[in-house]
Structure 1
Amino acid sequence: MISLREPSVSARLGEAYYDACVQELNALKPGNVHRYAPGHGMTLDDFVKSAEASKGPVSDLGLGLGERIYRGVAATREVVGCNTNLGILLMCAPLIQAVLAIGVRGSLRQRLLQSFHLTGSTDTSWLFKAISLAEPGGLGESPRYDVRGSSHAPLMEVMSYAYRWDRIAALYVSGYADLFDYAKPLFVGLQNKWGDANGWAVSALYLRLLHRHPDTHISRKHGVDRAHGVSAVVADLADRLAASDDPEQYQEPLLELDHEFKKEGINPGTTADITVAVLLLIRLEKILSEFEPKTGFPRTPGYRQRSAGGPNIDRQ
C-alpha cells in the first residue's frame, strides 16, 4: 500500500518544489532575478542553490508548517548566506503541508484549509524564528507582534492581524483563493496557448499578478504609493502580453522595464514568490490526482480491486 506519507512521495514533493522554483527563474520577470539578468545583489545561481538546499526540509515528513519554513530558511542560509527564499517558503510550505498533514482529506484546496486550521502557536514561534534568521528588510515589526520576541498567538491569528498590509498573510487567511480561482486558470490558459517555451506563460502570470495586487515587498521598502504606481505601470504591458499570439515580441519591452525597475531598486519579490506557489500548486494537484481521495490508494494503471482480497497495488 502506498500512502501520501511515504518517503517516495516526500521526495516527489521536494522535486516538485525545486522544479517550480527553477521554472519561475527561467521566466523574464521585470524587477526580479531571472535567467536573463541578476538583480539586487543576487544571482540566478543563488536562487537555484537555495531551491536545492531547501527542497529537503520543505518536504520533510516529520515537520509542522512553522518548522518546515524555518528549516528551509536555515538550510538556505548555509549555502547562500542571504535571504533569497523566505517568501517562497512562506507560500510553498503550506501547499506541501496540505499534502502531508495527517487527518486532512479532499482536494488540495480543501486540504490546505484544513491544515491551516490545524496550525497553532508552535507554528508561530517557528515562523518568527525563520523571519528573524532571514532578516528580510522591513518585515517583523508591528504594534502587536515582533518576530524578535516570543509569541503564544496561533499562526492564523497573526496572519489575520497582518492581512490588511501583507499579501502573503492575506492569502493565508483566504486559503489561497486568488491562486485557485484566478492565477491557476490564467496560467493554464496561457500555457495551453503558448506552450512552455521560454517561460512566457510565467512572465504573463507574474505581470498580471503584479497589476492585480500591489507588491507588499515594494510597499515595505518604498511605500504603498510606489507599490500602487508599479502596478499601474505594468498594467498595459500585462494586458498586451497576455492577449498576444506572439509573446516573443515583448522580450525587449520587458527587458527595458526590468532595467528601469532594478535601477530604481524596485523588486516585486512578493509577486515572484506567489508565482512560484502557483507553479507548485499545479504540480501538487497532479500528484494528488494519482491518489484516491478517501483511501490514499494511488489511482494508477497498476491499481486494481480484488473481489475478495481488498486493494492490490502493483509497483512497477
Structure 2
Amino acid sequence: MIDFTTGELAQTACIWEACARKVGNVHRGADFANTALTDFLLSGAVIGPVLQHAGNRSVGATVFDAVERTQAVVGQNTNLGIILLLAPLAAEWSGMRPGVQVADILKGLTTDDTRLVYEAIRLANPGGLGGAPEQDVREEPTVTLLEAMKLAAERDMIARQYANGFADVFDFGVPTFTIAFAKFGSVEAAIVDSQLRWLAAHPDSLIARKNGAAVTEDVQRRAQAALALGGLETSAGRAAGVALDRHLRSDGNRLNPGTTADLITACLFVALRENMVTPSAPFRWNVSDWL
C-alpha cells in the first residue's frame, strides 16, 4: 500500500473539492466569469509542495509562501481559506514534528505568524474584505495569530477553527463526509451532501461578508429545505438543490459559498490523512437530475 505524502493528500483534497458539482461554486460543469476550474486545479497543485514542508517552518511562512505561489499561477484569490485551514493541519501531519498535535501548533503561533498571514491576506485580497475594530489586517499586528483569529471567530468560520481547535472540522465536517461516502459510494456525492449540510448548519462567512446576515440566513433556510425534502436521496431534494444552485448564481458570484468550500477541503484532507478514504476512491456521482 502506497503511503501518500501530506502534499499529495492536500492536492487530492483540493482537486476533489474543486471538481465536485457543488451548488453555487465553480466545478467541472460551471465556471465563473473570471475564474475557471483550471484556476482552482492549478492553485491546488502549487500549494501541495509548500504544505509538504509545513512541519519545518512557521504557519505564517507556510501561508504566505502558498498564497504567493497561488498568485504567481492564477493571479487571484482562489484558495486563501484553504491555505489558512490546511497550514496548521499539515504542520501536524508532515512527519517533521512527531507527537505534536494541532492544538500545540495553534498554541505556538506568534506575532510573526500574524504579520505574515496579514501580508498574505493583503496579497490575496479576498472578496468582501472589510475593516476590523481590532487588529485589522492593514495594520501592524500586536497579538499572536491565535489571538487574532479569536477576535474574528464570531464573523468568520475559518478564524473560528483556529479558536476552537478545528472542532467544526473534526466533529461535524469529517463525520458528515464519511457518513455520506458510506451511503452514496462516491466522493462527489459525499462532498455535495456535505456542502448542503454545512450550509444548513452554518451560515457561509463569504456570503455574509458580501451580502449581510439576512441574505445569508435565507441561503441557510434554502439548504435546510432541500435536506427536509430528502436531500440527494430524493428527486424532490435534488430538485431543491438545483433550484438553490440557480439562486446562488443569480447575481454573478456574490452568493458563492466559498468559505463552506474551504471547510470541505479541510475535511477531505483530514479524511484522507486519517485513511478514512483513499485517493483511489470512486469519485463520480452518476445521477441524471443534478447539475
Category of TM-score, reference length = shorter chain: 0.7 to 0.9
Pairing 1:67–2:61 present: yes
Q: Tell me: CA distance 1:63–1:28, structure 2 relative to 1, closer, same or farther (3 Å).
A: same
CA distance in 2 between counterparts of 1:68 and 1:284 reads 19
Worse-matched range after superposition: 133-142 or 119-128: 133-142
User: Match of 1:87, as an amino acid?
Assistant: G
Pairing 1:268–2:262 present: no
Aligned to 2:163: 173
CA contact (8 A) 1:208 1:239 kept: no
C-alpha deviations, 1:264-289, integer Å up to 9, x for none? Answer: 231110001001100001112239xx
Q: Tell me: CA distance 1:49–1:243, structure 2 relative to 1, closer, same or farther (3 Å).
A: closer
Q: Tell me: CA distance 1:40–1:241, structure 2 relative to 1, closer, same or farther (3 Å).
A: farther
CA distance in 1 between counterparts of 2:186 and 2:12 reads 13
Q: Percent identity?
A: 33
Pairing 1:23–2:12 present: no
Pairing 1:77–2:67 present: no
Q: Tell me: CA distance 1:113–1:40, structure 2 relative to 1, closer, same or farther (3 Å).
A: farther
Aligned to 2:148: 158
Pairing 1:218–2:212 present: no
CA distance in 2 between counterparts of 1:165 and 1:211 reads 17
Q: How many residues align?
A: 272
Structure 1 runs, 4 residues or longer, greater than 6 Å off = none
Q: Tell me: CA distance 1:22–1:240, structure 2 relative to 1, closer, same or farther (3 Å).
A: farther
Report how far residue 103 of structure 1 moved: 5.2
CA distance in 2 between counterparts of 1:15 and 1:238 reads 33
Match for residue 183 of structure 2 among 193, 198, 202: 193
CA contact (8 A) 1:207 1:234 kept: yes
Q: Tell me: CA distance 1:95–1:178, structure 2 relative to 1, closer, same or farther (3 Å).
A: same
Aligned to 1:307: none
CA contact (8 A) 1:31 1:39 kept: no
Aligned to 2:45: 52
Aligned residue for 2:117, secondary structure, equals helix
User: Match of 2:173, as an amino acid?
Assistant: A
CA distance in 1 between counterparts of 2:19 and 2:49 reads 22
CA contact (8 A) 2:84 2:158 kept: yes
**RMSD over equivalenced CA pairs, Å:** 2.3
Report how far residue 58 of structure 1 moved: 2.3
User: Match of 2:53, as an amino acid?
Assistant: D
Aligned residue for 1:142, secondary structure, equals coil
Aligned residue for 1:263, secondary structure, equals coil
Aligned residue for 1:52, secondary structure, equals helix
User: Match of 1:30, as an amino acid?
Assistant: V
Pairing 1:42–2:31 present: no
Q: Tell me: CA distance 1:210–1:40, structure 2 relative to 1, closer, same or farther (3 Å).
A: farther
CA contact (8 A) 1:119 1:154 kept: yes
TM-score normalised by length of structure 1:
0.80
C-alpha deviations, 1:82-112, integer Å up to 9, x for none? Answer: 0000011111112101223865627xxxx11
Worse-matched range after superposition: 128-137 or 30-39: 30-39
